[in-house]
Amino acid sequence: MASTNFVDYVKIYCRSGAGGAGSAHLHRDNWTAKGGPDGGDGGRGGHIYIRGNRNFWTLIHLKYARHIFAGDGENGSKCRSTGANGEDKIIEVPLGTVARDAETGEKICEVTKDGETVIMVKGGRGGLGNWNFKSPTLQTPRFAQPGEPRVERTVILELKVLADVGLVGFPNAGKSTLLSVVSAAKPEIADYPFTTLVPNLGIVTYRDNRSFVMADIPGIIEGAHEGKGLGLRFLRHIERNSALLFMIPADSKNIKEEYEILLNELRQYNPELLDKKRILAVTKSDFLDRELIEEIEQDMPNIPYVFISSVMQTGITELKDLIWNALN
């Protein structure tokens, strides 16, 4: 997947439709010179909806369509005829999309299911026609309600990737390499920090034709929760993962210490992330002998762990077993 094709943040200007005005018409025909009120109601202005679509995985289709206008409702007319409602607009988004008000930061809605549809900006109500206001003391009302005005709102759409397991680690920890080995995904791999600039998803096959989705998230550095590195821009993708796979290279100075730094960044960003299942994979372990592995195991975090080498493809089966057990 090309990195330029992944868009997970867009700001769009939305304007719903105005409601149509009610009619103040009085009934007239060849046999009636002074009939009563028969003005119909105005039509509702168009709403702007947001709808989840499992066939979308990015917001790129909204990158160059940032003005969404719904249609206005038509005015009411004689014979109690109600005006037509304004044309609604439906914005299709990937599952895991959050809509926020750009000015206040208030969360409007969150779409996580296919076909889930939510009104993001309401259209104006149509005005009532004069026949609604007739009474024994006011038999010929010559007035009607105007329709409600349009609603304008700038909305931020943020995508939080939906995956079963998310890869958490510092830059160059081997996350993209692992994803390329266990799935058909082809993330960019190179020997420099922040090679991965967008999340990559891959479907990992397991025993008995079972599978799970793995997400390669751009590397985290100390201070990411404050926006350092790629920080806040991609930490949100971890919120959608059922389990977290921490990846630390075997040549790190202190594996437990690096794990605590990563864990602290997640804690500072969102303490609820600590409730997720956690697994540790010690990567690039193909140069370790049994004696070195036993020495490293003496000071490991108290979570399930496995030593792997994506290049030599050792420990991959054991890793899949740990992930599947965590997910089920």
Q: Among 100, 127, 159, which residue terminates a domain?
A: 159
For residue 309, which of 292, 328, 284 has the smallest C-alpha distance? 284
Q: Which residues contact 71 (CB under 8 A, 6 or more apart)?
A: 17, 45, 46, 86, 87, 88
Identify whether residues 101 and 38 lie together within a single domain. Answer: yes
- Categorize the per-residue pLDDT at 2 as very low, low, confident or very high, splitting at 50, 70 and 90: very low
Residues pairing with 28 in the sheet: none
Residue 135 has which token pair?
């009474």
Lowest mean pLDDT: which of 124-128, 206-210, 315-319? Answer: 206-210
Residue 123's domain comprises 1-159
Identify whether residues 113 and 260 lie together within a single domain. Answer: no
Identify whether residues 231 and 214 lie together within a single domain. Answer: yes
Identify whether residues 183 and 310 lie together within a single domain. Answer: yes
Q: Among 124, 159, 194, which residue terminates a domain?
A: 159
Sort residue 95 into left (φ over 0), alpha (ψ -120 to 50) or beta. beta
For residue 285, which of 251, 256, 262 has the smallest C-alpha distance? 251
Long-range contact pairs involving 251-254 (C-beta distance under 8 Å, separation at least 24): 251/284, 254/299
pLDDT at residue 229 is higher than 70: no
Identify whether residues 208 and 140 lie together within a single domain. Answer: no
Identify whether residues 238 and 321 lie together within a single domain. Answer: yes
| Total count of domains within the chain | 2
Q: What is the model's pTM?
A: 0.65
pLDDT at 221: 57
125 vs 78: CA distance, rounded Å = 19
Identify whether residues 260 and 230 lie together within a single domain. Answer: yes
Identify whether residues 4 and 135 lie together within a single domain. Answer: yes
User: Hey, how many other C-beta atoms are within 10 angstroms of the C-beta on 267?
Assistant: 14
Let me know if 65 is exposed, middle or buried by CB neighbors in 10 A (0-12, 13-18, 19+).
Answer: exposed
Residues pairing with 91 in the sheet: 50
Position 244, amino acid: L
Identify whether residues 242 and 302 lie together within a single domain. Answer: yes
pLDDT in tens, 230-283: 445 566 677 777 888 898 888 888 888 888 888 888 888 788 888 888 889 888
For residue 7, which of 52, 67, 65, 59 has the smallest C-alpha distance? 59
For residue 89, which of 165, 151, 26, 7 has the smallest C-alpha distance? 151
Identify whether residues 200 and 135 lie together within a single domain. Answer: no
For residue 171, which of 243, 249, 245 has the smallest C-alpha distance? 249
pLDDT in tens, 110-168: 898 999 999 999 999 999 999 889 988 888 898 999 999 999 999 999 887 767 888 88
Q: Which residues contact 105 (CB under 8 A, 6 or more apart)?
A: none
Lowest mean pLDDT: which of 189-198, 245-254, 318-327? Answer: 189-198
pLDDT at residue 308 is higher than 50: yes
